Amino acid sequence: MLWSKSLETGIPKIDDQHKELFRQADILVDQSKADRVESTLNFLKDYVNKHFADEEVYHRSSQYPKADDHKRLHVEFTAALKKQFEEFRKAANKSAMVLTINSIVINWLKEHIMRHDKEFAAYYIQKQQH
């Protein structure tokens, strides 16, 4: 999945991190060896956690009124991703699991960015202008 300008929030750090998340998800489907897939999955998991933590700092610093709801979405996604990674480790057909994880990550990111991150970004940018 190529990054699209329609996914930009207008917050450079957040947009850069989103681009990296998409890049890592795309790397998954290009991997041919399970050990390389595992290292990419681990990087993706760690990067998701870092990105969510960074985003939540923006929420707190701007006193975003929907910060708790947004964080809950992050926690739920992190738990779902962890479950998928555990299933990958047990799976007989690792290639199919990689495609499933890639699809879950890409679809969730697109939906989350378009609905929740853009809503926050509009709030954040407006607040910065005052």
The answer to pTM > 0.85 is yes
Alpha carbon distance 18, 5 (integer Å): 11
Average pLDDT, the chain: 90
**pLDDT of res. 52:** 96
pLDDT band of 35, cuts 50, 70, 90: low
pLDDT band of 25, cuts 50, 70, 90: confident
Residue 61 vs residue 33, higher pLDDT: 61
62 by Cβ neighbours in 10 Å (0-12 / 13-18 / 19+) ranks as middle
Task: Kindly list the domain boundaries of the chain, sorted by start residue.
Answer: 11-129
Record: fold of 11-129: Four Helix Bundle (Hemerythrin (Met), subunit A) (1.20.120)
Can you say how many angstroms the Cα of residue 99 is from the centroid of all Cα atoms in its chain?
16
Instruction: Say whether pLDDT at 33 is over 60.
Output: no
Q: For the chain, how far is it from start to end, CA to CA, in angstroms?
A: 36
pLDDT band of 32, cuts 50, 70, 90: low
**pLDDT of res. 43:** 87
Instruction: Say whether pLDDT at 31 is over 70.
Output: no
